[in-house]
A and B are shown apart, each in its own frame.
Chain A
């Protein structure tokens, strides 16, 4: 295995969860997010030779992820990689606990509310949810820090409103599920 390949595997291994969550924020559907995630991994591999260390590795990765999300499924994907049938999504055994279920419900609601945001807001919130500093978000987006700050505050307000509005709806959904209606 070459140095480049080792670096790629290491970079992906260390950042796969972050990258996947960005995909989940940018695209509402799980399958679409999985597609985008694979697309991002391919882009990282193809662009890895361009990483010179001028920017932080995380900034470089966020840029690749967001830019791939911007054009995902728009360009004709010449390197589409249909995965073979024996590639499976391994189940997470810990999902069964009550806490996890509660967490899952909150996440479902959050996913729904994020999907209600506009595209550019979803791109930004995907980084905010990862607690990326404003300065780094500004570097990823090519905007000024103050501009990013204003945008983030607005998006947070929108998201909070959506979460508040969505609470009643979520409770109704849960009750319906519990009573088997």
Chain B
């Protein structure tokens, strides 16, 4: 018993020594020689530059999208006389789908979104898991919904364009379009799922394990 206590005391002493040695380590003196800037200033400046660049890229993307929509509405729509109202409905549906994609891209491109890095570790792991699972669900749901909406919009436009053609031709064109959209949507869904499986599934598994082990006694 006494021997065990002595061993324990020795280990405690050793640990204190370890702590002292450990705390003698210093952060590397990283600095920008040319501008005499410390690492933190350099990193901060670069993050700020990247934030501005991302913002401008997104603004540019929105402007291009709005200009395309305006070109369709004010140029193409005026020169092209549709047969029915379905053309306009189709256009609205299509642009709705494009705008939603643009909004999703905008949100996705903001790197400082939902950081929440100041939560306690258990809450942070839980939050990260929710976020990754949401991304998993969004791939499963949003991509097909987007493809279905786009297919409906394009089919409505086709319906109007080929209004005066024979029903066989119209059916062929619409079925052809649906086939193409299913193929494109299917491939897009397959590759996003594959990418997600490679990128996120191991992370989700590791985080779940870490969460379990942190909770465990």
Instruction: Please list the residues of chain A having a beta carbon within 8 angstroms of any beta carbon in chain B.
Output: 5, 8-9, 12-13, 16-17, 19-21, 24, 34, 37-38, 41-43, 45-47, 50-51, 60, 63-64, 66-68, 70-71, 74-76, 78-79, 81, 83-84, 86-90, 92, 103, 106-107, 110, 118-120, 123, 128-131, 139-143, 147, 150, 156-157, 159-160, 163
Contact = CB atoms under 8 A, between A and B. Distances in A.
B79 interface: no
B214 A86 contact: no
Contacts of B28: 20, 34, 89-90
A120 B210 contact: yes
B32 A67 contact: no
A129 B18 contact: yes
B21 A103 contact: yes
In the A-B complex, the 9 residue pairs with the closest CB atoms: A142-B120, A142-B122, A20-B27, A78-B111, A90-B29, A12-B40, A16-B27, A67-B124, A129-B22
Contacts of A5: 44
B5 interface: no
B44 A45 contact: yes
A142 B98 CA distance: 42
Interface in B5-47: 11, 14-15, 18-19, 21-34, 38-44, 46-47
A129 B19 contact: yes
A111 B42 CA distance: 29
Contacts of B121: 63, 66-67, 70, 123, 140-142
Contact of B27 (A19, A86, A130): A19
Contacts of B43: 38, 41-42, 45, 81
Contacts of B203: 71, 74-75
Most chain A Cβ neighbours within 10 Å, of B29, B43, B46, B214: B43
A79 B48 CA distance: 10
Interface of B: 11, 14-15, 18-19, 21-34, 38-44, 46-47, 50, 109, 111-112, 115, 117-125, 128, 199, 203, 206-207, 210, 213-214, 217
8 contacts: A9-B38, A45-B43, A81-B46, A87-B33, A106-B21, A107-B25, A120-B210, A143-B122
B22 to A, nearest CB: 4
Contacts of B124: 63, 67, 70
B214 A92 contact: no
Interface-central residue, B42, B109, B117, B206, by most chain A CB under 10 Å: B117
A45 B43 CA distance: 9
A131 B25 contact: no
B25 A21 contact: yes
Contacts of A79: 47, 50, 111-112
Kindly name the residue among B27, B29, B206 whose own CB sees the greatest number of chain A CB atoms within 10 A. B27
Contacts of A157: 11
A19 B112 CA distance: 21
Contacts of A120: 210, 213-214
Contact of A47 (B24, B115, B207): B115
A37 B165 CA distance: 67
Given A20-B28, A46-B47, A81-B47, A140 B120 contact: yes
